[in-house]
DNA sequence: AGTAATTACGAGGTACGTAACAATC
DNA sequence: GATTGTTACGTACCTCGTAATTACT
């Protein structure tokens, strides 16, 4: 029977030009490779080399064989690669969310329900998330609304509400509540990777200059600057109140969010998700 | 290393459904096949089966693996097939001729010059032969003229001239020579596989009814009928004169043929043809 | 009982490496 | 003399078949 091994050896020889060099690259003794190529010829019942006493070169058949061997070996490697990828995907739940906060409770729930699964999560905009329900980029998607698709199983995850954090000296710090428009035009601090929160506030506060800082810098700037920033009830519960800041609720309906976890019904069973 | 062997075993299992049946088809013991599939899974580091104590079924990975294995194995078989075909072609000279007679002397010449070659010859019409010089269906072509292509090497092979054979009682049997038109309208005997001779005489004798008989029947009918037929100087030399027949030369220029053997110059060297 | 799959164990074959040889540069 | 390829020989590993075990129908 023809062996993939031998085809790889043939390719190596074609690349190296001599049996010696190829044998070394293959971590094989030269006589072993010589015999292996003889077996290959016998197996194919076709001579692949022209041999002088001291020299061995691919003949016309050999050149053709190399072409084919390349394809066969590549396909075999591709097979292995694709299988490993699929196997990994079988043990991974890809979660896409429109915002970070709902993942804080959802991901541990999934981990507990599917202890043998790897969970990978990403923050993506709403367009990407809705498309992904069709192309299966994500098995589970967190949206700020519940799509009406009958193939989907949707569960309400909880709510999130947005707040300003203002330095106590801020003129509006004593208000019971505010609207986004009340601070429009000022400069504000923003965390990165806020998902759909970014577009929401940018649209409602078009004249505001947002300074996006990584989390570490953000915390420092909240502490040592008077720039207003945002928190939500969920982030407050997770991280506690920011130091030396007044937290003021925002009344706009567009920042009162209800999250829904959605996945295909048949997947819900396989993933054992108690949605 | 992944083995083609194992992929074929996987395909057999997919076809048969049980290890036992597959093992039998593979002329292998069932434990051997079981272990081989375990090795395949280990090699791919991916489970391919779902196992109950008594039952083994392809899982999702297994199904995908079968798809790929099919392609890989097919390509490998295709490789072998193509190589064998090329190797055979390397040792075969395909000769196309417009008529049988020139092959009688040409084929032995080639055999003598290339003792390690197989010679295959076919009679084809002129269109096919001329095209074959481009598509390399034939390495060597016998034509009734010498193409002017500079890439071609052409050698004159010899001449062939057509004769009527008539029963002695035929009204024209005492003529020194005849024209094709002289017998047009009668019924004539014809051998099969005459190559371009068929079209020549049919065009020159449009009102003649030709009875095409295989060689054995043809000889009998020449002997026991009074139907006129053809011979050529070459066939006379090879087979002797027909019994109880008068042989009359035909004067038409279109039946005075000169044959040329033509092949590509570079091939002439490789085939060692002393053209 | 019969079929089907895995594990255990002994045997045979196959491919490897080392060594010896031949030939070319 | 150094490099390259083939042949010879002994060994080690690997895969096979038989047999035993377990489980399902």
Shortest Cα–Cα distance, B85 to chain A (Å)? 10
Query: Which residue's entry shows tokens 């020139």?
Result: B102
- Per-chain mean pLDDT for chain A: 93
CB contact under 8 A, B45 and A84: yes
Quickly state the pLDDT bin for A73 (edges 50, 70, 90): very high
A104 touches chain B (CB under 8 A): no
Q: Which position has the token pair 């109140």? A: A241
Which two tokens mark B56?
Answer: 């083994």
In this prediction, residue A265 has a pLDDT band, given cuts at 50, 70 and 90, of: confident
- Residues whose CB is below 7 A of strand C: A 5, 27-32, 35-36, 39, 52-55; B 18-21, 30-31, 34-35, 37-38, 49, 51, 54-56
**Residues B54-77: b if buried by 16+ CB within 10 A, e if exposed:** eebebbebbebbbebbebbbebbe
Q: What is the chain A residue with the closest CA to B78?
A: A68
Instruction: Please give the pLDDT value at position A24.
Output: 95
Within 7 A of a protein CB, which nucleotides of strand C? 3-8, 15-20, 22-25
Helix axes B60-90, A30-44, angle to 10 degrees: 80
pLDDT in tens, B200-214: 999 999 999 999 999
pLDDT tens for B143-168 read 999 999 999 999 999 999 999 999 99
Q: How confident is the model at residue B177 (pLDDT cuts 50, 70, 90)?
A: very high
Which nucleotide has its C1' atom closest to residue A51's CA?
D5
- Residue B45 clears pLDDT 70, i.e. is over it: yes
Those residues whose C-beta lies under 8 Å from the C-beta of residue B221, and which sit 6 or more positions away, are B189, B211, B213, B227
Kindly list the residues from chain B whose CB atom is less than 8 angstroms away from the CB atom of residue A3: 3-5
Instruction: Give residue-wise pLDDT tens across range A219-229.
Output: 999 999 999 99
pLDDT for residue B275 is more than 70? no
What pLDDT is attached to residue B238? 95
Shortest distance between the Cα of A175 and any Cα of chain B, in A, equals 60
Q: Which residues contact A158 (CB under 8 A, 6 or more apart)?
A: A102, A105, A234, A258, A259
Helices (H), ranges, B91-182: 101-113, 126-135
Q: How far is B49 from chain A (nearest CA, A)?
A: 12
Q: Is the CB of A35 under 7 A from strand D?
A: yes
β-strands A209-212, A187-190 pairing: parallel
What is the spatial distance between Cα B161 and Cα B140, in angstroms, rounded to a whole number? 23
Q: Is A72 on the interface with B (CB under 8 A)?
A: yes
Residue A124 binned pLDDT confidence (cut-offs 50, 70, 90)? very high
Among chain A residues, the shortest Cα distance to B71 is held by: A75
Residue B270 above 90 pLDDT? no
pLDDT digits (tens, 9 = 90+) for A98-112: 999 999 999 999 998
**Structural domains of chain A ordered from first start:** 4-87 (1.10.10.10), 89-158+258-271 (3.40.190.10), 159-255 (3.40.190.10)
A75 vs B80: CB contact, 8 Å cut-off? no
Task: Dump pLDDT digits (tens) for A242-264.
Answer: 988 999 999 999 999 999 999 98
Best CA proximity match to A255, nearest among A101, A104, A131: A101
The arithmetic mean of pLDDT across residues B173-195, rounded, is 95
Question: What's the rounded Cα separation, in Å, for the pair A94 and A133?
Answer: 11
Q: Residue count of chain A, please give it.
A: 275
pLDDT of residue A272: 58
Residue B125 pLDDT > 80: yes
Identity of the residue in B1, B47, B79 whose CB atom sits nearest the CB atom of A72: B79
pTM, entire model? 0.76
How many CB pairs lie under 8 A apart between chains A and B? 83
Nearest protein residue, CA measured to C1' of C25: A54
B36-60 mean pLDDT: 94
pLDDT tens-digit series, residues B237-249: 999 999 889 999 9
Strand partners, B143: B260
User: Rounded distance, CA B173 to CA B226, Å?
Assistant: 12
* Mean pLDDT, rounded, for B204-225: 94
pLDDT score, position A273: 60
Q: Give backbone dihedrals phi and psi of B88, rounded to 5 degrees, phi first.
A: -65, -40
The pLDDT confidence band at residue B267, using thresholds 50, 70 and 90, is confident
Does position B271 have pLDDT exceeding 80, yes or no?
no
B275 and B263 Cβ atoms separated by less than 8 Å:
yes
* Percentage of chain A modeled with pLDDT above 90: 87
What would the two tokens of residue B139 be?
A: 């390495």
Indicate if the pLDDT at residue A205 is higher than 70: yes
Q: What pLDDT, on a 0 to 100 scale, did the predictor assign at position A270? A: 66
Say if residue B272's pLDDT is above 80.
no
Residues 47-86 of chain A with CB under 7 A from strand D are 49, 51, 54-56
């Amino acid at each position: 029977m023809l062996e993939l091994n031998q085809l790889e050896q043939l390719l190596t020889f074609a690349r190296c030009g001599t049996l010696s060099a190829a044998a070394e690259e293959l971590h094989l003794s030269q006589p072993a490779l010589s015999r292996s190529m003889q077996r290959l010829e016998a197996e194919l019942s076709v001579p692949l080399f022209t041999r002088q006493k001291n020299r061995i070169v691919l003949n016309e058949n050999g050149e053709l064989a190399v072409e084919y061997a390349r394809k066969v070996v590549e396909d075999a490697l591709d097979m292995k690669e694709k299988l490993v990828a699929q196997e990994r995907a079988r043990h991974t739940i890809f979660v896409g969310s429109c915002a970070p906060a709902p993942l804080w409770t959802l991901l541990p729930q999934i981990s507990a329900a599917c202890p043998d699964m790897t969970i990978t999560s990403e923050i993506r905009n709403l367009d990407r998330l809705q498309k992904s329900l069709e192309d299966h980029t994500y098995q589970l998607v967190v949206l700020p609304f519940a799509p009406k698709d009958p193939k989907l199983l949707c569960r309400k995850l909880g709510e999130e509400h947005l707040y300003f954090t203002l330095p106590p000296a801020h003129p509006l710090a004593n208000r019971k509540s505010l609207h986004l428009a009340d601070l429009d035009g000022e400069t504000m601090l923003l965390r990165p990777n806020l998902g759909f929160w970014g577009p929401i506030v940018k649209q409602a506060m078009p004249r505001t200059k947002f300074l996006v800082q990584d989390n570490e810098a953000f915390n420092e700037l909240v502490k040592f600057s008077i720039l207003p920033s945002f928190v939500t009830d969920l982030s407050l519960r997770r991280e506690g109140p920011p130091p030396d800041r007044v937290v003021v609720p925002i009344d706009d309906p567009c920042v009162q969010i209800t999250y829904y976890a959605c996945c295909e019904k048949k997947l819900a069973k396989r993933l054992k998700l108690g949605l």
